[in-house]
């Protein structure tokens, strides 16, 4: 029997991932590489074109995987962002509930139309954005969820908001 506690995973709530709009820059890069650079590379031969194709495919796949790896979640301790594909590049950043000031999103016509939001989670003592994420799908709901969970934590620990 494993000493791994599966109840830890039940306590994690994912509230945000990158929206489809976040993949736009990668789509433009892929179009440029495959429809402009690759045909031009054939002028120098099949070996050069094959190399360009392979490198382009790896670059586009890496960017897609990197974008997909961004996840905003919370647990009993705080709110966190995990990002990165390769083990030595994978990172978790965030802040504890006791240090959180508030979560907010930047709205506007473009955000409303695309349903892609910029999220900010600020530190309560320094007023800096401890977490700043762009192009988050369902960002309004993520902010509401984080702020509600933060209020629950404050009430459970006898603290009041120091805004």
Q: Looking at residues 90-98, what average pLDDT do you find?
A: 93
Q: What is the pLDDT of residue 160?
A: 61
Asked whether the predicted pLDDT for residue 6 surpasses 80, the reply is no
The mean-pLDDT minimum among 59-63, 125-129, 136-140 falls in 125-129
* Better-predicted residue by pLDDT, 99 or 7: 99
Asked whether the predicted pLDDT for residue 86 surpasses 60, the reply is yes
Q: What is the pLDDT of residue 162?
A: 53
Q: What is the pLDDT of residue 128?
A: 79
Q: What is the pLDDT of residue 27?
A: 96
Q: From residue 39, how far is each of 36, 44, 48, 61 by CA, in Å?
A: 6, 10, 11, 20
Asked whether the predicted pLDDT for residue 130 surpasses 70, the reply is yes
pLDDT tens digits, 15-66? 999 999 999 999 999 999 999 999 999 999 999 999 999 999 999 999 999 9
Band (pLDDT 50/70/90 cuts) for residue 161 is low
Contacts of 2 (CB under 8 A, 6+ apart): none
The mean-pLDDT minimum among 49-63, 106-120, 138-152 falls in 106-120
Q: From residue 29, how far is each of 51, 112, 150 by CA, in Å?
A: 17, 25, 39
Distance CA 120, CA 133 (A): 7
Q: Whats the size of the chain, residue-wise?
A: 163
Q: What is the pLDDT of residue 26?
A: 94
Model-wide pTM > 0.85: no
């Amino acid at each position: 029997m494993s000493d791994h506690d599966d109840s830890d995973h039940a306590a994690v709530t994912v509230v945000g991932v990158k929206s489809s709009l976040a993949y736009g820059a990668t789509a433009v890069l892929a179009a440029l590489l495959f429809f402009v650079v690759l045909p031009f590379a054939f002028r120098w031969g099949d070996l050069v074109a094959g190399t360009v194709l392979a490198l382009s495919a790896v670059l586009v796949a890496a960017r897609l995987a990197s974008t997909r790896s961004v996840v905003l979640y919370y647990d009993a301790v705080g709110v966190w962002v995990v990002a990165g594909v390769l083990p030595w590049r994978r990172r978790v950043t965030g802040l504890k509930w006791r240090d959180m000031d508030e979560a907010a999103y930047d709205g506007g016509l473009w955000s409303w139309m695309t349903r892609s939001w910029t999220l900010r989670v600020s530190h309560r003592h320094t007023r800096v954005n401890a977490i700043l994420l762009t192009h988050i799908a369902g960002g309004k709901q993520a902010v509401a969820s984080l702020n509600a969970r933060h209020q629950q934590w404050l009430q459970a620990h006898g603290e009041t908001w120091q805004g």
